[in-house]
Structure 1
Amino acid sequence: MDRVRVHTDGPGCDAGIMSTALVDLLREGLPAEAVLTDPDITASYSRDMAGFCEAGVPAAVVLPRTVEQVQHVMRTATALRVPVVPQGARTGLSGAANAVDGCVVLSLVRMDRVLEIDPVDRIAVVEPGVVNAALARAVAPHGLVYPPDPSSWETCTIGGNIGTASGGLCCVKYGVTAEYVLGLDVVLADGRLLRTGRRTAKGVAGYDLTRLFVGSEGSLGIVVGAVLALRPKPPARLVLAAEFPSAAAACDAVCRIMRDGHVPSLLELMDRTTVRAVNALARMGLPEETEALLLIAFDTPDPAADLAAVGALCEAAGATEVVPADDEAESELLLQARRLALNALEAVKGTTMIDDVCVPRSKLGEMIEGVERIAERHALTIGVCAHAGDGNTHPTVCFDAADPDESRRARESFDEIMALGLRLGGTITGEHGVGMLKKEWLARELGPVGMEMQHAVKRAFDPLGILNPGKVL
């Protein structure tokens, strides 16, 4: 790299001068098949699943298989001042994986090995391209589980989960990704390898750099390995479905359940719009006359008794129907309906903007009622599904992207939903991340001093600003 001398004030240089040098240098440390430059192919790596987020044209896409190859990419990018956009399965919903013009897209999907499973220490050591569901299947024979389970768990990768600090349906009891990442291997912007954290159950040596990288969306370094905590496999869970005449009544039931000290393994809400969309997509036979449907699960030694107790609380809150599942198969069918919610809402109009506002549980009813008013004011279909147990709502704006006026109203409603969440004491994102979609709102939530510290951290890890530029900050 010493023979490369490029002087620039920021990432990226003249494309005509840089493109050949960039590709030549990348190929010096990568197999030929790992460097993609065909425009039709590279275009397919240009964006994730977020709407309303611009995507640039990458100069190249690289698919490394080893840590050393990732280090080579970053050394090359540093030498040439070329931006690098890390990617997993591109299932993200904030534009964090979108390419910028002239960048190297660093796709980590081929680094997909489960390197170690230790049943005694209850850890797994994995590469970033391991799919969430594949890890679940790998640890199952050991009587263990990896609890974080985003709705896209069959396709999303552990690296992407770490990048966005993702949650899932079971986080009300088991917590989110950050609570299961014990240590990381991270390639820094200049190609150095940093190891953070530990393999032990406890450890407080130094600043917690592991937590700093979790949720950083590839803006501070490239995660190339992770030590993950595992848990013993719990008993089979049973699910109860409760129908309510209003979202407010369903939210009242959520408050009663949490106030009484119950710890369900899952507590999910679907409003009427979402229920009808799921039925239309998959013919699930869900009750379309309900205004809100709560799904409550327990994986305790006696789940039937726990379901009976929370069922009584649901009835006290005004539930019109409370139906516990008879067995595990029926329970999984109900959970599949919840997992289909976002796909079903997308089918309503063809395009969706999926918000990710988390509010205190006590404000959940006000949040959902506020979204209903926003939908009426903008004459839009907005379905709400939520991880009700932790107040994380997913208002999903359905609209026709070919209709400019409807697209404008969709964007305005999206912003109003975030503003509502902040007024209720919440946050603009509970698990999807900031990416490009919510950059402006991050400053409103954190304030000037908070943003100053965020920028200071970014400069410390990425002084040239080449790591996922234009994202988060």
Structure 2
Amino acid sequence: MDDLLARLRAGLPGEALITDPDVTASYAHDMASFCEAGTPAVVVLPRSVEQVQHVMRTATALRVPVVPQGARTGLSGAANASDGCIVLSLVKMDRILEINPVDRIAVVEPGVVNATLSRAVGEHGLFYPPDPSSWETCTIGGNIGTASGGLCCVKYGVTAEYVLGLDVVLADGRLLTTGRRTAKGVAGYDLTRLFVGSEGSLGIVVRAVLALRPQPPRQLVLAAEFNSAAAACDAICRIMESGHTPSLLELMDRTTVRAVNTMANMGLPDTTEALLLAAFDTPDPGADLTAVGLLCEAAGATGVVPAEDTAESELLLHARRLALPALEAVKGTTMIDDVCVPRSRLGDLLEGIERIGEKYALTIGVCAHAGDGNTHPTVCFDAADPDESRRARESFDEIMALGLELGGTITGEHGVGVLKKDWLARELGPVGLELQRGIKRTFDPLGLLNPGKLF
């Protein structure tokens, strides 16, 4: 420990090192439940690429594991510390280095908060689409590490589609530059995409070149009520099959709607079994909402209410963003899944989740990025009750198994981390797992970067 601290101090300012056990303990885990977390030896908050390189050279020399972190808003334990590790928190590297309206790119450090970037590029008439529910606090580095998505993925896609290039500090301290600043480029293997979603297991992202879009018109939102989740899923299929491209298509089941109303008195229709939110940011969103409203009614909607203006639209979106914290308040602890299935199987998944909730006598609320089949079944339970905790874990696993059975994936945007390691092996199969482990060994032969995650 003394040797580690002495070597770190040789290349870092004093304020970059945290050794107080009470403080370092607060960096030990992200927001996931049921995920083991160790005790870090030290927390380092670098402000420059050179300081990150110094940390990695020191870690390699002393064979000390390193756990990179952003804002720790993750939900899979990917940012959890391991015993004796260096926690490398990148939140102080928070500069927007460039916004280029001609090339439509932004160059940022990993600690830039998603919402901060969105507002900054908006001043130039530009738009950074990925918008996780935690966008006011989550960082771009964390978004890249978990390949995060958000509410607008149905039209604009996920983080991976906006990362053009990266600067990455490798395990041995070398600096790797991947990708490009150009709109097109196919030179060599796509190492940029390899790092997106790697959860800090291959290298430390210290700079990112991000693609931007022209800022679209302000979107308008429609809310449609249904007396069953199956009817809502039928409406989703009709909307997508008809060729519409909503900027947002979100689903909240009755448990979620009631939880949001209880938390924030939002006035949502808590008698509904499923609430569908559809939005358009087209030049004439009213016409699009009218067409989608007719499709919802054909699918059995009991009420269709288009927002009259952007203020009403923002209120509905705020309600959707409150879904996860509102569900956590139901019992105090949640296990949040993010199973993604083909849109055509979304109804089967929701029916299966309802059966699983009944089987284990648990409250399971579901909110979903319905337009791309990405659901967030949220198991609510009392962590102080051992039996209820056991049932929560078993129900969580059954939901993941159901997702794979329906042709889906165990994670659409939250990542694998600690929570889903065993399930990743099942999804990839032995050949896929062997090759991915081989890639890990190539980039991190000593196994120092975020050990115990993914595999």
After TM superposition, is the score higher than 0.5? yes
2:179 matched residue in structure 1: 197
| Pair 1:210 & 2:192 matched | yes
Deviation at 1:335, TM superposition (A): 0.3
Structure 1 residues 206-250: Cα deviation after superposition (integer angstroms, max 9, x where no partner): 000000000000000000000000000000100000000100000
Q: How far, CA to CA, are the matches of 1:346 and 1:38 in structure 2?
A: 30
Q: How far, CA to CA, are the matches of 1:233 and 1:396 in structure 2?
A: 33
Matched ranges for 1:372-411 at <5 A = 372-411=354-393
1:275 matched residue in structure 2: 257
TM-score by length of 1: 0.96
Secondary structure, counterpart of 2:166 in structure 1: strand
Deviation at 1:178, TM superposition (A): 0.1
Q: How far, CA to CA, are the matches of 2:43 and 2:28 in structure 1?
A: 9
Tell me the number of residue pairs that the alignment of Structure 1 and Structure 2 aligns.
455
Partner amino acid, structure 1, of 2:454:
V
Partner amino acid, structure 2, of 1:139:
V
2:345 matched residue in structure 1: 363
Q: How far, CA to CA, are the matches of 1:407 and 1:101 in structure 2?
A: 25
Secondary structure, counterpart of 1:362 in structure 2: helix
Q: How far, CA to CA, are the matches of 2:329 and 2:281 in structure 1?
A: 33
**Residue 241 of structure 1 is aligned with which of 192, 212, 223?**
223
Deviation at 1:251, TM superposition (A): 0.2
Q: How far, CA to CA, are the matches of 2:422 and 2:369 in structure 1?
A: 25
**Residue 130 of structure 2 is aligned with which of 129, 141, 148?**
148
Identity %: 84
2:70 matched residue in structure 1: 88
**Residue 347 of structure 1 is aligned with which of 309, 326, 329?**
329
Structure 1 residues 111-135: Cα deviation after superposition (integer angstroms, max 9, x where no partner): 0000000000000000000000000
Q: How far, CA to CA, are the matches of 2:23 and 2:124 in structure 1?
A: 40
| Pair 1:296 & 2:278 matched | yes
**Residue 292 of structure 2 is aligned with which of 310, 324, 329?**
310
Secondary structure, counterpart of 2:118 in structure 1: helix
| Pair 1:255 & 2:237 matched | yes
Structure 1 residues 39-81: Cα deviation after superposition (integer angstroms, max 9, x where no partner): 0010000000000001100000000000000000000000000
Structure 1 residues 395-446: Cα deviation after superposition (integer angstroms, max 9, x where no partner): 0000000000000000000000000000000000000000000000001000
| Pair 1:74 & 2:80 matched | no
Q: How far, CA to CA, are the matches of 2:186 and 2:215 in structure 1?
A: 27
Q: How far, CA to CA, are the matches of 1:282 and 1:129 in structure 2?
A: 30
| Pair 1:466 & 2:448 matched | yes
Partner amino acid, structure 2, of 1:140:
G
Q: How far, CA to CA, are the matches of 1:232 and 1:25 in structure 2?
A: 47
Q: How far, CA to CA, are the matches of 2:240 and 2:360 in structure 1?
A: 34
Deviation at 1:137, TM superposition (A): 1.1
Q: How far, CA to CA, are the matches of 1:120 and 1:381 in structure 2?
A: 50
Deviation at 1:38, TM superposition (A): 0.6
Q: How far, CA to CA, are the matches of 2:262 and 2:11 in structure 1?
A: 50
| Pair 1:32 & 2:11 matched | no
TM-score by length of 2: 1.00
The Cα RMSD (Å) is 0.3
Q: How far, CA to CA, are the matches of 1:468 and 1:236 in structure 2?
A: 40
Secondary structure, counterpart of 2:131 in structure 1: coil
Secondary structure, counterpart of 1:220 in structure 2: coil
**Residue 430 of structure 2 is aligned with which of 444, 448, 451?**
448
| Pair 1:170 & 2:174 matched | no
Q: How far, CA to CA, are the matches of 1:187 and 1:345 in structure 2?
A: 38
Deviation at 1:141, TM superposition (A): 1.1
**Residue 39 of structure 2 is aligned with which of 48, 51, 57?**
57
Secondary structure, counterpart of 1:185 in structure 2: strand
Q: How far, CA to CA, are the matches of 1:233 and 1:401 in structure 2?
A: 44
Secondary structure, counterpart of 1:441 in structure 2: helix
Secondary structure, counterpart of 2:123 in structure 1: helix
1:427 matched residue in structure 2: 409
Q: How far, CA to CA, are the matches of 1:161 and 1:84 in structure 2?
A: 19
Structure 1 residues 286-340: Cα deviation after superposition (integer angstroms, max 9, x where no partner): 0011000000000000000000000000000000000000000000000000000
Structure 1 residues 63-112: Cα deviation after superposition (integer angstroms, max 9, x where no partner): 00000000000000000000000000000000000000000000000000
| Pair 1:186 & 2:168 matched | yes
Deviation at 1:147, TM superposition (A): 0.3
Q: How far, CA to CA, are the matches of 1:440 and 1:27 in structure 2?
A: 38
1:414 matched residue in structure 2: 396
**Residue 438 of structure 1 is aligned with which of 413, 420, 429?**
420
